[in-house]
Structure 1
Amino acid sequence: AGRVRLDQGRSATSLVGELYVGHRGDILYPLVVEEAQVGTLAIDQRAGLRPLSLSTRLLLSIAFLSFFPGILTLIIALLLAQRVVVPLAEVITAARAVAAGDLAARVEARGPDDLRDLIEIFNHMASTLEQDAQDRRAMLADIAHELRTPLTIIRGRLEGIIDGVYAADEEHVVPVLEEVYLLERLVEDLRLLTLAETHQLPLTLMPVELADLAARAVRLLEAEALEKGIAISVEVPAQVPLVEADPQRLGQVISNLLSNALRYTPVGSQVVLSIRGKLNGVELAVSDNGPGVPEADLARIFDRFWRQERARTRAAGGAGLGLAIARHLVYVEGGTILAENMV
């Protein structure tokens, strides 16, 4: 064994000058100069493994500590995507579909409470838009139908007069004029209904005596009731409080309700207009002993163009706008209106 000359590249360590004591597993390389061995390079594997083992343990510790937070972060991200990002993306997709005209687009309500509220509001908005679109199409179809009948009569009569089929006398001109009046009333009713629905109807509010207004409406319809064999009357208590309303519009509501009752009440029946004071106002009721309305149709009785007869004839008269106008006129003046069958 020789003496140690260099220890790990240094010449000033405690091992330098001492006899080399080998260890099991040392790697020995002979140092040869001009074919003569001048020394031996000894590699102590233990000295090389110690820093490697330390760094390996350090790296493993860092990797171990980083792995679980990474997995936790990934899981949280996936949960957030499932609960928030995915439903929100569905809302955005559905909103784009609605904007493109697909009003049937809906989103399943899921996720956090705030997101659920957003989805429910969106679905309600889409349902409202879809219902409005359906109502608009139905209204246009109803208007076209209501206009078609009088226009057809007017055209037929006028063409007959021009072709000489009918004489240009009162007998053949009066029906044309009646249809023109009918068209005029229809257009005016539609205009009034539109103004009331959009809250653009001008009102002149003042204290109103309901008893006087009711009595006037009954007097105007007495001749029609007598012609149909129907008794019409008004019941008013001695003291009726004044109401703040537009007398013209409120009178129109009363007239529409009475006209509707006269239209559908059979001969020999009775129509009663009654007024009663209530705790928070005044109740005005129009009642009759007619056949009533099926319970399934009561919710639709104030819809425009709705008539109980499924066939669109004018045998019973009316275009189906009177009660719709009455409802909106009552609403714009801060009142409520309903229909019910009396047992």
Structure 2
Amino acid sequence: MRPDRIRGPRRRRPGLAGELVLLTAAVTTVTVLLTGLVAWHTLRGAAEAQERDQLARQAKVLGRVPALSALLYAGEQRIAGANGVELAVLDRSGVLSGPAAPVLSTAQRDVLLSGKSLSSSGELHGTEVLVEGSPARYGGAVVLTRPLTDVDAAVARMRRDLLLPLTAGLVGAVVAGTALARRLARPLSRAAETASELAAGRRGVADPDPAASPGPAEAVRLRQALSVLDAALERGERQQRDFLLSISHEIRTPLTSVLGYAEALADDAVPTHRLPEVGRILQAEARRLDRFLGDLLDLARLEADDFRLDLAAVDLTLLVREAAATWGERCARHHVDFRLEHPGRAVVVRTDGFRVRQLADCLLANALRLTPQGNPVVLALRAGDDEVEVEVRDSGPGLTDDDVKVAFERGALHERYRDLRPVGTGLGLAIAHRLAARLGGTLTAGTEGPEGGAVFTLRLPTDDSGAADRRTTHGPDGRATDAADGHGGEGSRPDGAPPPDTRA
């Protein structure tokens, strides 16, 4: 039998509310016990001090008329009843009289005769008593005693009275802790339920107005984060669906052509003289499919955590000249005027030259596709103190302000313009934007350049501190596949050569 078959049921972990209630009860119990323990030991001292204070006040009152103190005390006893208090009177000559006389020592008599008060303990008739004496106004003193058993009885009463408030405090604290725990746990429980629903694929379940919901500030921030996450997931999934639908549509067209001609060839329905033409069509459609797959792989590599770069000192002036040699020839075949602008000196930057060329090829292919015959495409290099700029400008229809906002989202411009102007796979600008970020730079789009079309500017720092990584990811041929266009162009091939010559 497998070990996991004989295990008992998993214990259910207590919830936050239960843990808070237990914690509140534990803290309250400990607090009540400590308070009770301290009070328990301090009550005796408080009761004794209270009894002494009462005796001292009585002795002081009787000391004002020591000759009548015995009569006054006897009258009080008859009116209020016996209370255990005993009286002794010390005259000016030192003679002590009264039932409490045996409790005083000679030293204590001398203290009273010197005009000082007396507060001590002693033994009277075999019983421990409290002793309080007060000097008389014209000499002598009055002494009162009370048995310590009276103090013990008072302490017992006070301790009994203490149990009720301590118990009430314990119960009240538990009740308050339970209410507080539920108040704290309720928004967290709702947040956990919302997170579970989001994980299950449901959208639009987050609180639409988190700030208006009750709860502490941390719970409000948690609900706000879930609301933002909900909206982001919904937006991302919608964009992903639109992107997949767009890609599916673009792939289906060449795939349908390939399947149609393949069936015609299999059925021997293609005349012999048309075989070269059919072969060229199949080759072109296969290249389109290959371009789609290459773009998707490039995008996947750029979004992976292990994407790498090879950083080295690169002369960007030499790089743009090499790009100009390739793209000048291709633009000439399309009857487009290619122009190169550079500072005329070496511009050395520590970066990945292969990736910079890949990015430039992507932008140039995009510009060439949209530029009418006879109009210019410009590749420009500018060097500053802190950064360099590689700029590609075209003479095409340009971009609107709304286009610039979504220019680097996958398939956004492709979906918007595929029926209005020549487009590519819809991935190139997304790839270029991510590649620029990996290089530690930025890629921005402009609505209208000097030539009347769009402007794309790559900015790279003059040092390599902004590069995302120093490593390189290689493809099957030893180099990474170059990007394709998104605004409407094609990327360069893995071997560095330009893409096939296809006219819009």
TM-score band, normalised by the shorter chain? 0.7 to 0.9
The answer to which of 273-282 and 311-320 deviates more is 311-320
Alignment RMSD = 3.1
Matches within 5 A, 1:91-106: 91-106=191-206
1:125 to 229, 233, 252: 229
* Aligned twin of 1:326: 432
Which structure carries more relative contact order (alpha carbon 8 Å, separation 6+)? Answer: 2
- 3-state SS in 2 of match to 1:302: coil
Matches within 5 A, 1:180-219: 180-219=286-325
Q: Which amino acid aligns with 1:232?
A: F
Determine if contact 2:337/2:377 at 8 Å carries over to the other structure: yes
Instruction: Please report how far the alpha carbon of residue 69 of structure 1 lies from its aligned counterpart in structure 2 after TM superposition.
Output: 10
* Aligned twin of 1:137: 241
- 3-state SS in 2 of match to 1:132: helix
Matches within 5 A, 1:213-292: 213-292=319-398
Counterpart-to-counterpart distance in 1, 2:443 and 2:417: 27
- 3-state SS in 2 of match to 1:337: strand
Counterpart-to-counterpart distance in 2, 1:268 and 1:322: 25
- 3-state SS in 1 of match to 2:413: coil
2:277 to 166, 171, 184: 171
1:304 lines up with 2:410 in the alignment: yes
Counterpart-to-counterpart distance in 2, 1:81 and 1:278: 61
Instruction: Please report how far the alpha carbon of residue 153 of structure 1 lies from its aligned counterpart in structure 2 after TM superposition.
Output: 0.8
Counterpart-to-counterpart distance in 2, 1:186 and 1:244: 31
Instruction: Please report how far the alpha carbon of residue 240 of structure 1 lies from its aligned counterpart in structure 2 after TM superposition.
Output: 4.7
1:160 lines up with 2:160 in the alignment: no
Determine if contact 1:206/1:245 at 8 Å carries over to the other structure: yes
Instruction: Please report how far the alpha carbon of residue 184 of structure 1 lies from its aligned counterpart in structure 2 after TM superposition.
Output: 1.3
Counterpart-to-counterpart distance in 1, 2:329 and 2:194: 58
Q: Which amino acid aligns with 2:308?
A: P
Instruction: Please report how far the alpha carbon of residue 67 of structure 1 lies from its aligned counterpart in structure 2 after TM superposition.
Output: 8.4
Counterpart-to-counterpart distance in 1, 2:166 and 2:351: 77
Matches within 5 A, 1:41-60: none
Unaligned runs of 5+ in 1: 1-13, 15-54
Q: Which amino acid aligns with 2:197?
A: A
Q: Which amino acid aligns with 1:142?
A: S
Q: Which amino acid aligns with 1:121?
A: A
* Aligned twin of 2:217: 113
Q: Which amino acid aligns with 1:86?
A: R
- 3-state SS in 2 of match to 1:238: coil
The answer to which of 328-337 and 308-317 deviates more is 308-317
279 and 131 in structure 1: CA distance in 2 versus 1, 3 angstrom threshold:
farther
Determine if contact 2:436/2:442 at 8 Å carries over to the other structure: yes
TM-score, normalising length from structure 2?
0.51
Between the aligned residues of both structures, percent identity stands at 30
TM-score, normalising length from structure 1?
0.72
Counterpart-to-counterpart distance in 2, 1:256 and 1:314: 21
Determine if contact 1:196/1:328 at 8 Å carries over to the other structure: yes
Q: Which amino acid aligns with 2:219?
A: L
278 and 114 in structure 1: CA distance in 2 versus 1, 3 angstrom threshold:
farther
Q: Which amino acid aligns with 1:92?
A: A
Determine if contact 1:192/1:201 at 8 Å carries over to the other structure: no
Instruction: Please report how far the alpha carbon of residue 317 of structure 1 lies from its aligned counterpart in structure 2 after TM superposition.
Output: 4.2
Determine if contact 1:240/1:276 at 8 Å carries over to the other structure: no
Q: Which amino acid aligns with 2:276?
A: E
Determine if contact 2:371/2:395 at 8 Å carries over to the other structure: yes
Q: Which amino acid aligns with 2:221?
A: D
The answer to which of 294-303 and 241-250 deviates more is 241-250
Counterpart-to-counterpart distance in 2, 1:101 and 1:317: 33
Once the two structures are superposed, what CA deviation does each residue of 1:293-341 show, in whole Å capped at 9, x if it has no partner? 1111212111222335636459614111221111111111111111012
Counterpart-to-counterpart distance in 2, 1:223 and 1:241: 24
1:90 to 175, 187, 190: 190
1:338 lines up with 2:444 in the alignment: yes
Counterpart-to-counterpart distance in 2, 1:310 and 1:166: 37
Counterpart-to-counterpart distance in 2, 1:262 and 1:244: 29
Q: Which amino acid aligns with 1:333?
A: L
The answer to which of 71-80 and 265-274 deviates more is 71-80
Instruction: Please report how far the alpha carbon of residue 65 of structure 1 lies from its aligned counterpart in structure 2 after TM superposition.
Output: 11
Counterpart-to-counterpart distance in 2, 1:214 and 1:119: 51
278 and 103 in structure 1: CA distance in 2 versus 1, 3 angstrom threshold:
farther
